[in-house]
Amino acid sequence: MKITLAKSAGFCFGVDRAVSLVEEAVDQGKQVATLGPIIHNRHVMDHFMQRGVRELKEPEEAKPGECVVIRSHGVSRAVYARLQDQGVEIVDATCPFVKRIHKLVIQAEEKGRHPIIIGTRTHPEVEAIAGWCRRPLVFETPEELENWLDQAPQNRDTPVTMVSQTTSTQNLWESCKKIIKKQCTNSEIFDTICEATEKRQKEASELSRCCDAMVVVGDSFSSNTKRLAMICRQHCEDVTLVEDASGLDVSHFSCLGSVGITAGASTPAWIIKEVNNIMSEEIKVETAQEEDFAELLEQSIKTLNNGDKVTGIVTAIGATEIQVDLGTKHAGYIPVDDFSSDPSVKPEDVLKVGDEIEVLVVHVNDSEGTARLSKKRLEAGKAWEEIEAAAESKAVVEGLITEENKGGIVANVKGVRVFIPASQTGVPKGGDLSALVKTTVQMKITEVNRARRRVVGSIRAVTSELRKAAQEKIWAEIEVGKKYTGVVKSLTSYGAFVDIGGVDGMVHVSELSWNRIKNPAEVVKVGDEIEVFVISYDPEKKKISLGYKTPETNPWNIFMNQFHVGDVAKVKIVKLMTFGAFAEIIPGVDGLIHISQIADRRIGKPEDVLSEGQEVDAKIIDIDAENKRISLSIRALLTEDDAQESVEE
């Protein structure tokens, strides 16, 4: 007979976390109580009862100062408030998957949407989710959902947000999702079935299709376990549900060719192992991994200790944890928060099932057969060594700025917190330090105190070296006429100082524009990136004179390229004099309309006909290139118009 044990049988992350939190609280000598059964398994509950853990049915039963653990199913907003009123220490062991659903329904109502929950109304998890809504709708079957949509036409137009009980079946969820997508005009759908649950149910379904019989291990009151049994019965007629090995009739399976074993999320590893051992006591067992049981038994003898560095194989990558096979009796898992010090790194992007991974053992739970692991803490230890080496060698390191605080900013360097004083950021005094947040910078480590977990860094030390190197390069290569792209650093009444890559040069106000200007701010502002060229330089005094205006931007050259004598231009009157009017042809180039050329009749003064700011057409009648003078005439155009009218007459 072949016996196959499902890979994902037993505790899920949420249940293991809740049980571990109770264990830790008891180990710390606290008076511990759980609000409701911490897990649907009487063996675990008996174990905790023997350790002095009380089970509360109502929050009011809690004693002041007692440590009350909220189980992984979570509680409603009202129950949480009642518990707070009791003056107790609250340890919230609500499964992160369930916690996420609480947030989803809260956000849905804040947006004016109606939460729909797919699951069993009386299940503690569903009651807790509904308790975070004002007007929840709970549906246990697709038919109930359809009936609600058919009750009133407006129901189909109601903006809804649909979530699922984490332990619901995929078939139920897909059926409800199909109905909402087809019939509801404004829906938001979040697939909140726990990945571990989905995987466990999928494995049970596949295993039950190819086995003569199935054994489902778990508490008879566990919803998760009962669902597994139901899924198995859809494909296999012979399904046995047992709480532990004592309820197993081995003789029933003696004549069968293959038996599959799976277990609910509330079933401890030692119970699963006990069932597996009894099933394989007198027969040769071939596990799903095709390993000899004797080898597994030998591996299971290996022990783990907190703080051990171990290497394992990645067996599954979920939304909240990474499962790792350590080759021991312990089921290893890495919470996603403990995977990397870089919050932007996603495990699925850098890992795949089958990869070898080195981790640190954080907490071993021998009674439940689990081991919490951390890759982040292992990296942190290595990071400290690298940072200490960088401080000693004065090497440059890279870090991400995570926050601004009093006196400076904080960077994350390989998972280690590094403080950078404001004076070492390179930002001018009074400048905006928050602009550096979420940027990657280079720095030098100036102080390390591992015992106090204090590290100080300096960006300025790096920029100073870079600036010094850039300055040496510029002075080695500088020459008159050479062009640079620079940044305006400051303005004075007589010009602008421009950084051309580590060295500041000065553009005199007369070199900023071809037009007459009173202040450099009329042309440039601090922070502008501009093209400049070297007019002169003095290496000894470290002074550079720069130019900004070029022949190509000279207004007179532009005018001479565009206009000729006889051309007509649209001009703007800029100044009236007794002898005529000055008019702007293009910015920076003016022409004179003599009083005799303003009208086709004699006038007393130019303002009798023209006004400043007025735009008129004028003919260019003379260009004195040597003296850069232009003569314009309005009269010439009027005379031409009269001549044209005479011809037409």
The Cα 640–Cα 638 span in angstroms is 5
- 166 in a known ligand binding site: yes
Amino acid residing at 547: G
User: Residue for token digits 């807790």?
Assistant: 128
- 232 in a known ligand binding site: no
Contact 290, 9 (CB under 8 A): no
Catalytic residue among 61, 110, 125, 640: 125
Contact 258, 210 (CB under 8 A): yes
Half-sphere exposure of 164 (CA within 13 A, CB side): 23
Backbone region of residue 10 per phi and psi (left: phi > 0; alpha: psi in -120 to 50; beta: other values): left
- 210 in a known ligand binding site: no
* 419 alpha carbon, distance to own chain's centre: 22
Q: 167: which DSSP letter?
A: T
- 67 in a known ligand binding site: no
Contacts of 382 (CB under 8 A, 6+ apart): 414
Using alpha carbons, select from 436, 469, 442, 435 the residue that is nearest to residue 458.
442
Cβ atoms < 10 Å from Cβ of 364? 21
Using alpha carbons, select from 14, 373, 444, 42 the residue that is nearest to residue 222.
42
- Specify the pairing of strand 483-492 against strand 495-499: antiparallel
β partners of residue 584: 572, 590
- 266 in a known ligand binding site: yes
- 155 in a known ligand binding site: no
Half-sphere exposure of 4 (CA within 13 A, CB side): 22
Exposure letters 294-333 (e unless 16+ CB within 10 A, then b): eebeeeeeeebeeeeebebebbbbbebbbbbbbbbbbbbb
Exposure letters 177-215 (e unless 16+ CB within 10 A, then b): bebbeeebeebbbeebbbbbbbbbbebbbebbeebbbbb
Q: What angle do CA 545, 548, 553 make, to 5 degrees?
A: 150
- Specify the pairing of strand 495-499 against strand 114-118: unpaired
Contact 433, 427 (CB under 8 A): yes
Using alpha carbons, select from 617, 549, 631 the residue that is nearest to residue 589.
631
- 255 in a known ligand binding site: no
Half-sphere exposure of 264 (CA within 13 A, CB side): 27
- 280 in a known ligand binding site: no
- 122 in a known ligand binding site: no
The Cα 35–Cα 57 span in angstroms is 6
Look up residue 514 and give its two tokens.
Answer: 């071809």
Q: 613: which DSSP letter?
A: T
φ/ψ of 143, rounded to 5, equals -65, -40
The Cα 581–Cα 575 span in angstroms is 6
- 223 in a known ligand binding site: yes
- 363 in a known ligand binding site: no
Which whole-number Å values give the CA distances from 16 to 20, 167, 173, 436, in the listed order? 6, 16, 25, 40
* 125 included as an active-site residue: yes
Q: Which residues are annotated as a binding site?
A: 12, 40, 73, 95, 123, 166, 194, 222-224, 266
Q: Which residues are annotated as a binding site for [4Fe-4S] cluster?
A: 12, 95, 194
Catalytic residues: 125
Q: Which residues are annotated as a binding site for dimethylallyl diphosphate?
A: 40, 73, 123, 222-224, 266
Q: Which residues are annotated as a binding site for isopentenyl diphosphate?
A: 40, 73, 123, 222-224, 266
